[in-house]
A and B are shown apart, each in its own frame.
Chain A
Amino acid sequence: MKAQLQDWLPRLVLGPSFLLILFFVYGFIAYTGYLSLSDSKMLPSYGFVGLDNYDRLWKLRHWTGSLKNLAIFGGLYIVICSVLGLFLAIMLDQKIRAEGLLRPIYLYPMALSFIVTGTAWKWFLDPGIGLEHTMHQWGWESFEFNWIKSRTHAIYTVVIAAVWQSSGFVMAMFLAGLRGVNADIIRAAEIDGASRVRIYRRIIIPMMRPVFLSAFVVLAHLAIKSYDLVVALTGGGPGKATELPATFMYSYTFSRNLMGIGASSAIIMLIMIFSIIVPYLYAELRSDPKR
């Protein structure tokens, strides 16, 4: 009896967590999936309407606009964070005396809430009181920086704040990658007379491919999930200039009481993330020596 219990104990211990996740994650995904096919408005309701919500969703300029914003924001965010992260990592990897001081400075924004980041940058970018105002005070009267008030440029201010928050983290990922490069390979290249720039371009940066991939996956999924920063920085405005799928979902579900459409937008977000994450995790798990 006791031996039997011991046999079952591991599964009994893991069971509750697994059931919680099955129910609260996968069950909820299924539920939201069904709502996206239903006539839910302010409250969930179960009248089946097929793909109507998706039809209506794709006809909404609010939705297509937020996807376009996500493309601009996500694209720039991923590219700038990766380039800046790699650049800073290479700079820091040159036997810098103050590395122990600089690294935490580059990385601390990652510990902050996006609401704090948004609050700081909103003010900094506000032409009436922040950077523009300060430049005018300093005597540079013609200085203009009012992107945050501009329908065409506000989305770039979200990029600025998000890059500030995450680039240090990407730097840390690349730095860890650089530290893992075998010194013998580099020494060999040096003996062959390769210049430093060439060694980086031809040998080291190509070896960073797995880091690029991890950084891409992390940043892409953060971009698709982005919500807090937009809420704190621009509130989706001016107009709808900085709406993203995450803010769209929230406002359709909870403010506009079109839950069916909100649910269908959430499903699209899930599909976007899973199409990036699932192949990545699958490859990672397969190559994982621990399994």
Chain B
Amino acid sequence: MSTLSTGKFGIGRLALYLVLLVFAIYYLLPLYVMLANSFKPLAEIRQGDMLALPQVWTLDPWRSAWSTAQIGIQATGLKPYFVNSIVMVVPAVLLSTLLGALNGYVLTKWRFRGDGVVFGLILLSCFIPFQIVLIPMAKMLGVLGLAGTTSGLVLVHLVYGLGFTTLFFRNYYAAFPTELVRAAQIDGAGFFRIFTRILLPSSGPIIVVTVIWQFTNIWNDFLFGASFADADSVPMTVALNNLVSSSTGVKEYNVHFAGAVLAALPTLIVYVVSGRYFVRGLMAGAVKG
């Protein structure tokens, strides 16, 4: 595609760069506004200009958002909810990734009659609107004694993440030479041995993609958290929404922004550190069935 541009630096080229720059500003502006205003005292936000840097820099909004802001009925800040999210995300991501890897392995290297239908049903489960499972899931969590618990949320995220993790590994392992697996089988290696010795060592990239995908989705989930969490299992997104939309008292915008950045931080860090894999996950989830 590079053949189209001749590389000479004329008016057209300049306009092109200008357009690209304008869009970069458009995408960065909300983040900049949040960051800049999270360091301002409230009075300065009210009278001032949202695009300006703070005249008086203060860390108070951050302290407040993290440890003293009123969320729901308690003035705990976002800290306990951040912990809730971590405790929920880590096991959900690990379990769904592990099961997805095994499923992908079976679906590509140990094919059986009807595996196409099995895969089709797993794949289709990725796309359901979650509203369809809210009512029975609430009931089922009650039956299992997991209502309002972090374990309950882990189960929910595990179940509804399995489709994607299976899809990722299945597509990745489909390209892995089956002859290697057959050769190992003839040499007497069993099911798990082949998996741990032959497939797993070359699964690095897809593990990273899957972990990032799952981490981002589960961390950012709001619907399940809002539906199934209790006071001591509320995740970060739900707590942030409670903080921002609480109607009592003065609206402390600077605290809201600090909170929003705190909620965005883990996924942003993951994105900055491993954007390449993040994009690959998005593509795998979107383009290939």
Contact = CB atoms under 8 A, between A and B. Distances in A.
A123 B216 CA distance: 24
B30 A120 contact: yes
Interface of A: 6, 9-11, 13-14, 16-18, 20-22, 24-29, 31-32, 35, 44, 88, 91-96, 98, 102, 104-117, 119-124, 129-131, 133-134, 137-138, 164, 168-169, 172-173, 176, 178-179, 181, 183, 186-187, 190, 196, 199, 211, 214-215, 218, 221, 224-225, 227-228, 231-232, 235, 245-246, 249-250, 253-254, 259, 262-263, 265-267, 269-270, 273-274, 277-278, 280-281, 284-285, 288, 290-291
B134 A25 contact: no
B241 A232 contact: yes
Which of B116, B118, B278, B287: most chain A Cβ within 10 A?
B287
Interface of B: 1-5, 7, 16-17, 19-20, 23-24, 26-28, 30-31, 33-34, 45-46, 48-51, 99, 102-103, 105-108, 110, 112, 116, 118, 120-125, 127-137, 139-140, 158-160, 162-163, 166, 171, 174-175, 190-192, 216, 219-220, 222-223, 226-227, 237, 240-241, 244-245, 253, 256-257, 259-261, 263-264, 267-268, 270-272, 275, 278-279, 282-283, 286-289
Contact of B190 (A6, A21, A31): A6
B216 A111 contact: yes
Contacts of A186: 1, 3-4
A17 B106 CA distance: 12
A281 B140 CA distance: 30
Contacts of A291: 116
B129 A250 contact: no
A24 B1 contact: no
Nearest to B244: A119
Given A235-B245, A263-B135, A269-B132, A228 B23 contact: no
Q: Which of B1, B48, B241, B253 has the most CB of A within 10 A?
A: B1
A112 B137 contact: no
B46 A129 contact: yes
B244 A246 contact: no
A284 B135 contact: no
A117 B226 CA distance: 17
A246 B129 contact: yes
Contact of A21 (B27, B159, B264): B159
Given A116-B264, A274-B127, A290-B175, 8 more contacts: A20-B162, A21-B121, A21-B163, A98-B20, A173-B286, A245-B131, A266-B135, A290-B174
22 contacts: A25-B125, A25-B133, A26-B125, A88-B23, A102-B24, A104-B275, A111-B216, A112-B264, A112-B267, A115-B220, A115-B222, A119-B241, A120-B34, A120-B257, A123-B256, A173-B286, A253-B134, A265-B131, A267-B132, A280-B289, A288-B289, A291-B116
Contact of B282 (A27, A95, A172, A280): A172
Given A91-B16, A124-B33, A35 B244 contact: no
A115 B5 contact: no
A173 B121 contact: no
Contacts of A113: 219-220, 222, 237, 240, 263-264, 267
A176 B96 CA distance: 28
Given A10-B110, A196-B4, A176 B283 contact: yes
Nearest to A224: B129
B162 A124 contact: no
A110 B268 CA distance: 10
A94 B279 CA distance: 21
The 4 closest A-B pairs by CB, nearest first: A284-B289, A10-B110, A113-B220, A111-B271
Contacts of B33: 120, 123-124
B134 A199 contact: no
Contacts of B108: 290
A172 B289 contact: no
Contact of B139 (A11, A44, A120): A44
Contact of B191 (A13, A26, A285): A13
A266 B131 contact: yes
A21 B162 contact: yes
Contact of B260 (A31, A116, A187, A246): A116
B244 A232 contact: yes
B159 A266 contact: no
A35 B134 CA distance: 12
Contacts of A164: 26-27, 30
A72 B121 CA distance: 31
Contact of B129 (A112, A225, A231): A225
A278 B23 CA distance: 35
Given A107-B279, A138-B49, A169-B282, A178 B20 contact: no
A26 B31 contact: no
Contacts of A121: 30
A232 B121 CA distance: 33
B27 A109 contact: yes
Contacts of A24: 133, 137, 140, 159-160
Contacts of A109: 27
Nearest to B192: A9
B289 to A, nearest CB: 3
A117 B271 CA distance: 16
